[in-house]
Amino acid sequence: MEQIIFYLLIFSIGTLFGSFFTLAVYRIPLHQDITHKRSYCPNCNHKLSFWDMIPILSYLFLGGKCRYCKQKIRIRYVLLEIGTGIVFLLFAMSLNISFVSIDQNKLIYLVFGTLYIAGLIIIAGIDKEKHKIEKSVIIYEFLIIVAYMVYLYTVEKANIYRYAIYLFLLFLFLIIDNTYLKKKLNTHYPTEILELSMIMAIFGGEITYIVSVILCFLTIAIEKIERSILTRKNKVAKRDVSYYKNLSIGFYLSLSNIISFIIVNGIACRW
């Protein structure tokens, strides 16, 4: 029973994070504050009360509409809340954490892992909407890894050479990207994907990253086949070309990495 309550708590925390992600995905590209400014309806700009922001339940009680202007709330918001809750729950389950005898190291890894996953979900959401990977979220992920590296070194007395070398290379690339490459390149999307890839390889490990890349390209290939069949039926080939020209690789790669990260951790913990 205690274990079920623990998993319900993890799921609930995930839905709270998911509610925050809907705000972050909307505001970060607009360079708006995501921590101090109160949530508001994007249609009527009315500030939301506590009862308007309860994950999942508020959407159901309000009938999927804003309490003030009656505008329909996009269902993706509640789906993100549910999805994040499920992701956090699966990650906790993959670590095989027992509520009765909690392993401190696993609990700390659970915290850092969920914070890392949080960054990936925000990256995926923004890239899907804007075809862009925000540098601020990359820096957030960088700081999460630094904090985890400090913990490993000071508390667990672990070998952090691998983290240190990778982080140093990523730090150098971020500087080059924001100085020299910023003036030379017309688009920074390829360098943003490279930075995201380095983040994934550092925190999740090389094997997890390789699995993520394979899963990412398999997903894109399946979708391409699906769209090819639809375009032949509907004769919208030009629209299809335009779609793949602006393919949000960061979106697919981030989601693939979350799935791979959970699976690899689950296998490792059971071995």
pLDDT tens, 211-254?
999 999 999 888 888 777 776 766 554 555 555 567 889 999 99
Q: What is the pLDDT of residue 239?
A: 53
- Cα dihedral value 250, 17, 19, 88, nearest 10: 70
Contact (CB, 8 A) for 68 and 42: no
Cα within 13 Å of Cα(128), Cβ side: 15
pLDDT band at 161 (very low <50, low <70, confident <90, very high): confident
Q: What is the pLDDT of residue 110?
A: 93
Q: What is the pLDDT of residue 243?
A: 54
Q: What is the pLDDT of residue 158?
A: 82
- φ, ψ dihedrals at 66, nearest 5°: -65, 135
The predicted-structure confidence for 201-217, as pLDDT tens digits, reads as follows: 999 989 999 999 999 99
The predicted-structure confidence for 34-58, as pLDDT tens digits, reads as follows: 777 777 777 787 777 777 778 888 8
**Amino acid letter at 42?**
P
Which two structure tokens, joined as six digits, stand for 219?
């997903």
Beta-carbon contacts of 38 under 8 Å, excluding residues fewer than 6 positions away, are 47, 48
When mean pLDDT is compared across 39-43, 78-82, 157-161, the lowest value belongs to: 39-43
Is the per-residue pLDDT at 127 higher than 90? yes
Long-range contacts of 115-118 (CB under 8 A, 24+ apart): 115/144, 116/141, 116/144, 116/145, 116/203, 116/204, 116/261, 117/87, 117/88, 117/91, 117/258, 117/261, 118/17, 118/21
Instruction: Please report which helix (H) or strand (E) contains residue 243, including its range.
Output: helix 237-245
